[in-house]
Amino acid sequence: MRKDITIEKLMLGGEKVNKSELSRQYGCCWRTIDRRLNPDKYKKERITRIYTSKLDPYKNIIDEKIENNNVPSTGIYFLLKTKYGYKGKYGIVNRYVSSKKRKYYY
C-alpha cells in the first residue's frame, strides 16, 4: 500500500479530481487514487462466525452425571447415544468430560 499518496495531496487541485491524470502523475493505478479519496467505499465488514457444538444440547445431562455419579466418558457417550439420540462422536464427549473432571476434582 502506498503511504505517500494522501488525500491532502490529491485535493490540491480543488473538488473536481481527474483520477486518471493523478494516477499518471503519481505512477500508480486509478483505483489507488479512488481508494484514497473514498475510503468508506472500500471498507470490508468482518464476518464473525458463531461456533456451535453437537454436544451443546447435552451438556447439562453430562454435568449432572459427572457431579452425582462420577460416570466415565464411555458410559456417558453410550447413554447419550442410546437414550437421547446423540449423533456426535466419542472424542467430543471425552474431551468435554475430561475438562469438567479436571475442574471438579483437581
Domain around 20: 7-42
Q: Is the pTM of this model over 0.75?
A: no
Contacts of 86 (CB under 8 A, 6+ apart): 54, 58, 77, 80, 93
Whether residues 54 and 38 fall in one domain: no
17: nearest Cα among 32, 43, 41: 32
4: nearest Cα among 31, 27, 38: 27
Residue 54 lies in a domain: yes
Residue 101 lies in a domain: no
pLDDT at 72: 92
Averaged pLDDT for residues 57-66: 93
- Render pLDDT for 48-58 as a digit per residue (tens, 0 to 9): 999 999 999 99
Whether residues 36 and 54 fall in one domain: no
Residue 2 lies in a domain: no
Positive or negative, the Cα torsion across 36, 38, 39, 43?
negative
Residue 103 lies in a domain: no
